[in-house]
Structure 1
Amino acid sequence: MMEHTDTTKKVARRRRSRRSRRRQLGFGLVALAAALLTWVVAVPFPAEELSPEPVTSTMIVDREERPLRELLSDGEGRSRWLSLEEISPHAQAATIHAEDKRFYEHLGFDPIAIGRSAVYNIQRRRLVTGASTLTQQTVKRIKYADQPRTLRRKVMELIWAVRLERSLDKDAILAQYLNRVPYGNQLFGIEAAARMYFGKPASQLSLAEAALLAGLPQAPSALNPYRNLEGARARQRQILAAMLERGAIGQAEHDRAAQEPLVIRPRRGSVEAPHLTDRVMEELRGRRPAVVRTTLDLNLQRGVEGIVESWIARVERRGVSQGAVVVLDTQSGEVLAWVGSRDYWDREALGGNDGVVALRQPGSTLKPFAYGLYLESGGTAADPIADLPTQFPEGTGVYVPMNFNHRFHGPVSVRDALGSSLNVPAVAVTAEVGAQSLLSRLRRAGLETLTQDAEYYGLGFVLGDGEVRLVDLAAAYAALGRLGEWRPWRTLAAVDGAPWRAQDAPARRGFERDVAYTLLDMLSDDDARLVGFGANGPLALPYRVAAKTGTSTNFRDNWAVGVTPEYTVAVWVGNFDGSPMNRVSGVTGAAPMLRAVFQQLYPEAAGPADVPWFERPAEVGSHEVCALSGQPAGPSCPGVRVELFHQRRRGASGAPDAGGHRGEGPERCEVHQAVAIDTRNGLRARLTCPAEFVETHVFHQVPPAWEEWALEQGLELPPRGWSPLCDGGAVEALAVETRPRIVHPLPGDVFILDPEGRPEDQQLALRAHLEGVEGPLTWFVGGEPVGRAAAPFTLYWPLRRGTHRSGVGRGEVEREVEIEVR
């Protein structure tokens, strides 16, 4: 009996112990569950991970919001972030019924779906299907997009889903999902998908379109609409059927959506205006806005691209491989077209290089700014400048510029000198106003790539001995089109809807209004181009365009720039590797492209009235002047023309004073003068000459530097001496020089060979004068004859390095000078 009692007590103790352990285990499990639940719910979802920035791609659009280029998001996809209110209700409903019908009922995970999925996976002994809610899928996109699918990851997804549900309400979670989920073809978010596949924003999706998109995230590759549209439609029909079954839509709505034809837009993977969009990416400096609106006009851009391609193809056989064009709105400075090369994608031709911002030598396109300074200093468009062989002291030698066609045209007006792009007058003007002044003014006009000092560039600076960018040159010319006001060019209009405010230099005045208007008038004058280019050249349009061409040394670059009140167009033609073209100049290379672009800008224009021109400032007037002297026309002037002047002037200016300012010129033409001549000897007649021996002739009273030119042109110069017969004396013999006089070169002249110039282009003009002789003279170099020349005794000799004695005479050396060639 005692043993039975002890046994019973032991059993009771063991039972109590087991119950105690079970209670402890229960308490422990409850505590663990409580701790786990606390850990799950107490840790918030990181707010920074909900930011739209990492998943938002940047769309660059033109001024009319037409797509140019999309910069992929950090996830290497296209995306647009929207609020839920900006997404079609059809898309919201279709997505919920396709992915998570109990979305608004669960706490982040769906136990019913988990149980169904577990049974299905156990039956197949592998992980075949999941039971992820929209919340869990959102967590996956945020935290586990690149991780393999494992049980541990699924558990963590569930935990983070609960945390997300505690951090956001259901609508915010749905917005996160719709903005992050993949729709195939590198599209993330329903806005990017709606625009790519249907060409419309997500707010405008129909039920049929929304149901098709809602089915894609389940298998973006397998249901790719571009490869398997029928499969995507089958999934769409399943979703519509589920919505009908659950009462989300009615039968009529279902039938309309099921029968609605869907047109998938062609795949849009191309990049428009690649050089410009490259530039925009640089200007954003790492920012990743959703939409960047540029100033570009896509239709114009495509037209200009076609012009560049077709024209370069025509001149390719002449050693031309590339061209670039930029079009600005003259008044605002906005870039309307930006074509950096013939083909951005042609690596062999260096098409990725951007000719719009490449540093190249501008040729004669800088000349208008030198003439602008000349006008500012008191000069006028009527002033005559000698286009004759001229030596300009420079450094340790002399600079002797040549014209493009190796011809000289004598005295020409400033208007004709600029219109015909003559080199000698441009250098003469630069020498007068100062190379430093020109350099400073060009920098003020935005050409800040001219970084060397004036001494480095020299007087040849005005002919293009520097490097500029095409877009900066266009902006400098656009400043003329604003009657002298410079402002920076720009490519950005707005970023994410807010106007773009670049930290650019403020607007500033480059020239006064009257100077800018006069330059524009000269640059648009077809008659002023006749001297250098002849009639009906490529710049001769049926309406007015202020235009200038330029060609750099050895035909490496050529340019053309044109301005109207509405548009400024700048063109460059050449090769990115710097190789020379086969004698392609700005007139034959860039100018035809300039003409074609203006024809695209003004397709209906047939006459001057069809294109606006600049309003003449009140301070600019016009007066009739002598065609040769530019001075107010007198009764003896054989030709007259009308010229523009500041209201204070009526004719050509006078000589510059010590400060370089030009004052008033004569009140009447002093070149064409009526001179009384003694008919007995052709000398000037004094008042004492008998009337029967006096006749009045009109002569050309020209400066000494023009006399040789005047004689070549057959112009009569007035006699220098007075008739001794007028005083009753005998005819006196006049002293006549019996030896020829060397006009050029002068003793001690130093000439410097251009190492990049062609030898045949570097010749020295040998000129002499001998009164009363027409027969040929012989020229000698180093005592050896090099050629003969009749009056006016000019011969061209190829320069070669060394010290040389240049002489002239009738069969033997009668006069000689020593020169040096370096």
Structure 2
Amino acid sequence: MKWFKRLLIAFFSLSLLGVAAITAAYFYVLPDLPDVNSLKTVQLQTPLRIYSRDGKLISQFGEKRRIPVEYDDVPAQLINAVLDTEDARFFEHRGIDPIGIIRAATILITTGKKSQGASTITQQVARGFFLSNEKTYIRKIKEIFLALKIEKTLTKKEILALYLNRSFLGNRAYGVGAAAQVYYGKELHQLTLPEMAMIAGLPQAPSAANPIRNPERAIARRNWVLSRMLEKRNITQAEYEEAINSPSTAKYHGAEIDLYAPYISEMARDYMIQKYGVEAAYTNGYNVYTTISSDLQLMAQESLRDNVFAYDQRHGYRGPEAQLWTEMPLTQDEITNKLRQISPMQGIIPAAVMSVNGQQAQVLDSDGKLITLEWKGLKWARKFISDKRQGLPPKQAADILSAGQQVWIRNNGQHWQLSQIPSVSSATVSLEPHDGAIRALVGGFSFSQSQFNRVTQAKRQLGSNIKPFIYAAALEKDYTLATLINNAPINKPDTRQGTAWRPKNSPDIYGGPTRLRVGLAQSINVMSVRAMRHAGLDNTIKELVKFGFDPNDLPRNESLALGSPSVTPLQVATAFNVFANGGYLVEPYFIDHVTDGYDNMIEQTIPAIACEKPQEINTQEIDVEDPFAAMAEELSQPIEAQASSTEVIENEDEFNASTVTTTKEDNICSNPNARFAKKVISEQTAFLITEALKSVIWGGGDWSKGTGWNGTAWRAAKLIKRHDIAGKTGTTNESRDTWFSGFNPTLTSTFWVGFDDHGRQLGRSSWMANGEPDQISGAEAGAKTAGPGWNDFMNKALAGTPEYPVVPPKGIVSARIDLATGKLTRKTDHTTEFEYFVEGTEPKEYVTETPQNGDIFIDNVAEDLFQ
């Protein structure tokens, strides 16, 4: 009894001592214990993702790859694999597992080896969120107390979900969702049993047991996980045998990019950083849905690329990139190793010339594949001499290539051909007319070659692309499409530039009094200058500002009429949109909406739309804080993407309170909560300029009767073959910049082609006897250099869509006029046609049989600045 009493006293003493020690330890670490309630609102670091309007992933930014998943979305067998491996009694213990601790201690004492860990998943969550990985007793004590607190604060499922989403699993993958994508390119529900076991084995050794870096050790770890699942009876013996005998299929998978559109993704990334800061933008899991249409974006990229290749080829071959060997050929392995060090670009891949024979050559690519270049892929490669000169056409492959050269090749969709990296630049942007949404944007030939976004950053001289706006100013005053403007040399110079500047036509031909429609369609320089003189320089500048041009970019001299201002392609497309939508300035935007990592709406763009405001709306009573209030920005502000007058709703409840769509089909124009764009020109003027711009493409007159004439963009008519398209060419002095801008009622697009070096001319190309029948030659110009890209894109973009009929707006009338004089006529033959007029401005006088013509020719003209 004495020994029993002593043992009992000792037991209680030790128990009290233990309780006291635990209590003391608790109060000692209590000040350092964080508030575990923060786990209820924990923000997992997830990357920024950029999407197209139709949900295609464009890009992903952020150091950590994480795809948050809900507990209920994790396959049961993956949960079993994790629990059987890490914490089999997870759903039974209260945060710490005494049985597991005793078992681990026993094994350590008896074997001297730490073969089993004693940390529960809850303890690992506590350590991962609040503690470091240092191996100290005080850290372990904190971990235990935190685990107990976590178990009281969160449910088991919530704890396990945090663990599954936060664990580092190698290769920048955090959480099982990201691991499934990184290692297998799959979503969780697509994983096989061996793949689930592989992922479940990673948390303890994400580097050492990595299936990509160390596949043998990873398979051993996987098989151990499977043995634990078998031991816990979560899989059958047959499933176990099949799984352990399966090979590892893991390989690195990058982010599953559905649409490669780097220029727009960079714009979206910059927008998010400017608005939310670098850390929040990259880690808060924002999803940015742009206005880009994936189909149109792909079409724009292809059209721009093919157009740049076409220009580059007709100017000649600049020779091989390098000489890999001369006398002693390299081995195939040596060649492929050298080629693999060279990055491909926009479908152009490096290759080595192995042999040349007759009119063909054999080349080796970086994969060790021999490719034969037939003559149809070689014959274009006459020698490049300068931007204005090319050598004679080659007759055989030896005139172009020799063995040992490193060259570039590409597959043009029909056959392999010799290629080269173009030095010319290009850009294109497409907008939706009624609200300014950017549907396609390509800022250059190759983002890897240059990250400079020429759509938004490059200011280039506008050339004849400015003429529709000059004529719009004249129409807004009192001109009509039938007004005769003297197409004759200008004798009175403009001296505001400090020199006597006398513009002339290109070509230097003059036809006397010519109707305004023809002058615009044929881009006649002196007529544009005279039209601006009629409207007045100051008034013309005011009109140009209405179209969104920055007044600081507009020179106060007559070179303005021929396109001397330097502007961005986005500004040009925005201005042409005014004609496409009936007279409204709608500012471009590229962010449709932004959601957080759980798809909650945090931002929604509500653009101003091209509609008349309903009469019942009293603008004086609109609250200035109303997110749908009318735009307040002055017209003199320069147009920039995602301009400030595009309202942004940053509160989901506020947005949902008044649903607004942005399609005319949904009758948005009648929605009193919609935002309405500023009307900057009359609907009638927009209609008349549009009709004249159709003549740029379709020309006019009757060819069978000898009165037919072409507009400068006649190539578009041959390709697109629809009458609801309108456009304008543009070429600057010495062809340094070329443009084509145009639209139909559903899409406005601008193409620009030029060199990044402003001083370099686009030059000219000579006719090739062995070239294609429809080849382009002569001096580069808007119709021949930028136009083909626009034609190809619009032909693809509008394919399958209905052609819109001509519907004149209220206040427009038509009258039959005489083609020579623009006066009314009673004739109905080929010398006449119907013309549109604003009601009240139609001619009042009928043509006489012998119209009087004055002396229209003036000699001694000087060189002009612009074509």
Give TM-score, length-normalised by structure 2. Answer: 0.66
- Equivalent in the alignment of 2:45: 55
- Name the structure 1 match of 2:442: 339
User: For structure 2, which runs of at least 5 residues remain unmatched after alignment?
Assistant: 1-8, 316-385, 388-422, 607-643, 647-675, 701-707, 764-779
Q: Is the 8 A contact 2:487 2:526 kept in 1?
A: yes
In the other structure, the counterpart of 2:645 is 504
Deviation at residue 125 of structure 1 after TM alignment = 7.1
Checking the alignment, whether the CA contact within 8 Å between 1:558 and 1:589 is kept in structure 2 is: yes
Partner of 2:653: none
TM superposition shift of 1:623: 1.9
Equivalent residue in structure 1 for 2:820, among 623, 628, 631: 628
Instruction: Give the deviation of 1:172 after TM superposition.
Output: 1.7
Query: Match for residue 785 of structure 1?
Result: none
- The 3 A distance-change label for structure 1 pair 597 and 154 is farther
Q: 2:743 aligned to 548, 563, 567, which one?
A: 563
Change (3 A) 1:195 1:524: farther
Instruction: Label 1:166 to 1:451 Cα distance change in 2 as closer, same or farther (>3 A).
Output: farther
Instruction: Determine the C-alpha separation between the residues in 2 that align with 1:519 and 1:745.
Output: 33
Question: Aligned pair 1:701/2:852, yes or no?
Answer: yes
Deviations 1:169-221 (A, max 9, x none): 32221121122112333221233334445555546767665444333334334
Give the letter aligned to residue 444 of structure 1.
Answer: K
SS of 1:342 mapped into structure 2: coil
Matched, 1:276 2:252: no
Cα separation, 2, equivalents of 1:185 and 1:155: 31
8 Å Cα contact 2:712/2:729 also seen in 1: no
- Counterpart Cα distance in 1 of 2:235 and 2:807: 66
Correspondence for 2:845: 667
1:243 maps to which residue?
229
Pick from 567, 582, 585: which aligns with 2:781? 585
In structure 2, give the amino acid aligned to 1:493: D
Q: Provide the rounded CA distance (Å) in 2 between the counterparts of 1:638 and 1:567.
A: 34
CA distance in 1, matches of 2:168, 2:806: 55
Counterpart of 2:541 (choices 428, 434, 439) is: 439
5+ residue gaps, structure 1, are 1-19, 652-665, 675-697, 710-742, 762-822
Deviation at 1:88, TM superposition (A): 4.0
Shift of residue 380, structure 1, vs aligned partner: 1.1
Between 328-337 and 621-630, the greater mean CA deviation after superposition: 328-337
What do residues 272-324 of structure 1 show as CA deviations (whole Å, max 9, x unaligned)?
A: 21111111112222244432222222343233323322321232337552111
Confirm whether residue 361 of structure 1 aligns to residue 461 of structure 2.
yes
Amino-acid identity (%):
26
Provide Cα deviations, 1:140-159, integer angstroms capped at 9, x if missing partner. 432457x5666665554444
Give the Cα separation in 1 of the matches to 2:538 and 2:111.
87
SS in 2 for 1:216: coil
When residues 640 and 650 of structure 1 are mapped into structure 2, their CA distance, relative to the original with a 3 A threshold, is same
Out of 21, 24, 37, the position equivalent to 1:35 is: 24
Question: Where does residue 842 of structure 2 map in the other structure?
Answer: 650
Cα 1:177–1:516, aligned 2, differ >3 Å: closer, same or farther? Answer: same
Decide whether the 8 Å contact of 1:338 with 1:356 is kept in 2.
Answer: no
Cross-structure match for 1:417: 519
Q: Which residue of 1 aligns with 2:328?
A: none
Q: Aligned in 2, Cα 1:518/1:51: closer, same or farther, shift over 3 Å?
A: same
Are 1:68 and 2:55 an aligned pair?
Answer: no
- Larger relative contact order (CA 8 Å, sep ≥ 6): 2
Instruction: Determine which of 505, 515, 523 is the counterpart of 1:403.
Output: 505
Structure 1 residue 442 displacement after superposition: 3.2
The corresponding residue for 1:451 is: 552
Question: In the alignment, residue 94 of structure 1 is paired with which amino acid?
Answer: A
8 Å Cα contact 2:184/2:251 also seen in 1: yes
Gap change, CA 1:708 and 1:294, over 3 Å in 2:
closer
Task: Go from structure 1 to structure 2 and tell me whether the alpha carbon gap of 1:638 and 1:568 turns closer, same or farther (over 3 Å shift).
Answer: closer
Alignment of 1:203-352 (within 5 A): 210-225=196-211, 235-236=221-222, 238-248=224-234, 267-269=253-255, 272-284=260-272, 285-286=275-276, 287=281, 288-316=284-312, 317=315, 320-346=423-449, 350-352=450-452
Rate the CA distance shift 1:127–1:422 in 2: closer, same or farther, 3 A: farther
How far off is 1:516 after superposition?
A: 1.4
Letter in 1 for 2:506: F
Amino acid at match of 1:528: G
Shift of 1:512: 2.0
**Aligned counterpart, 1:104:** 91
Post-superposition CA distance 1:213-236 (Å, at most 9, x none): 333334334554556678656655
Matches of 1:202 and 1:354, distance apart in 2: 41
1:469 aligns with 2:565: no
Secondary structure of the residue that 1:408 maps to in structure 2? coil
Please give the alpha-carbon distance, in whole angstroms, between the structure 2 residues aligned to 1:634 and 1:220: 89
Structure 1 residue matching 2:804: 3-state secondary structure: coil
**1:572 alignment partner in structure 2:** 752
**How far apart in 2 are the matches of 1:170 and 1:208?**
26
> C-alpha displacement at 1:342, in angstroms?
0.7
2:306 maps to a residue whose letter is S
Quick one: distance in 1 between partners of 2:504 and 2:108?
A: 90
Contact persistence 1:382–1:414 (CA under 8 A): yes
Task: Report Cα offsets for 1:64-84 as digits up to 9, x if no partner.
Answer: 222111111xxx211233443
Q: Is contact 2:78–2:200 with CA below 8 Å preserved after alignment? A: yes
Q: What displacement does 1:591 show? A: 0.6
Residues 23, 89 of structure 1: CA spacing in aligned structure 2 closer, same or farther, 3 A cutoff?
A: closer
| 1:7 paired residue number | none
In the TM superposition, what is the alpha-carbon distance from 1:114 to its structure 2 partner? 4.0
Q: Give the SS at the match of 1:480.
A: helix
| Greater mean deviation of Cα atoms: 63-72 or 628-637 | 628-637
User: 1:524-603 residue pairs with structure 2 within 5 A?
Assistant: 524-525=694-695, 526-528=697-699, 536-538=714-716, 540=718, 541-544=720-723, 545-583=725-763, 584-603=780-799
Q: Distance in 2 between matches of 1:44 and 1:388?
A: 85
| CA gap 1:573/1:31 in 2 versus in 1, 3 angstroms | same
Aligned mates of 2:754, 2:241 — CA distance in 1: 62
| Aligned-partner residue type, residue 504 of structure 1 | S
Give the 3 Å change call, closer, same or farther, for CA 21–232 of structure 1 in structure 2.
closer
The CA distance in 1 between the partners of 2:42 and 2:12, in whole Å, is: 49
Query: Is residue 330–residue 478 contact of structure 1 (8 Å, CA) maintained in 2?
Result: yes
Partners of 1:383 and 1:432 lie apart in 2 by 12
Residue 126 of structure 2 corresponds to residue 139 of structure 1: yes
**Contact conserved, 2:194 with 2:243, CA < 8 A, in 1?**
yes
Question: Deviation string for 1:245-278 (max 9, x for gaps)?
Answer: 3244667887998899997687235682111111
2:530 is aligned with 1:428: yes
Comparing 533-542 and 186-195, the one that deviates more: 533-542
- Sort the Cα spacing of 1:482 and 1:33 in 2 relative to 1 into closer, same or farther, 3 A: same
Q: 2 CA distance for matches of 1:431 and 1:542? A: 36
**Structure 1 counterpart of 2:528, one-letter code:** A
CA contact (8 A) 1:80 1:189 kept: yes
**1:24–1:94 CA distance, 2 compared to 1 (3 A):** closer
CA distance in 2 between partners of 1:504 and 1:468 (Å): 20
**Mapped contact 1:388–1:409 kept (Cα < 8 A):** yes
- Larger Rg, first or second structure (1 or 2): 1
Q: Is the 8 A contact 2:123 2:147 kept in 1?
A: yes
Q: Which amino acid aligns with 1:424?
A: V
Q: Which residue number in structure 2 is paired with residue 372 of structure 1?
A: 472
Aligned-residue CA RMSD in angstroms? 3.9
| Deviation of 1:535 (Å) | 8.0
Q: Give me the whole-angstrom Cα distance separating, in 2, the residues matched to 1:585 and 1:122.
A: 87
Alignment correspondent of 2:172: 186
Measure, in 2, the Cα distance between the counterparts of 1:127 and 1:354.
62
Name 1:480's counterpart in structure 2: 579
Instruction: With the length of structure 1 as denominator, give the TM-score of the two structures.
Output: 0.69
User: Aligned AA for 1:501?
Assistant: T
- Could you tell me how far apart the structure 2 residues matched to 1:614 and 1:196 are? 54
Match of 2:79 in 1: 92
The aligned residue for residue 358 of structure 2 is none
* 1:373 to 1:302, Cα distance in 2 relative to 1, 3 A: same
Change (3 A) 1:363 1:536: closer
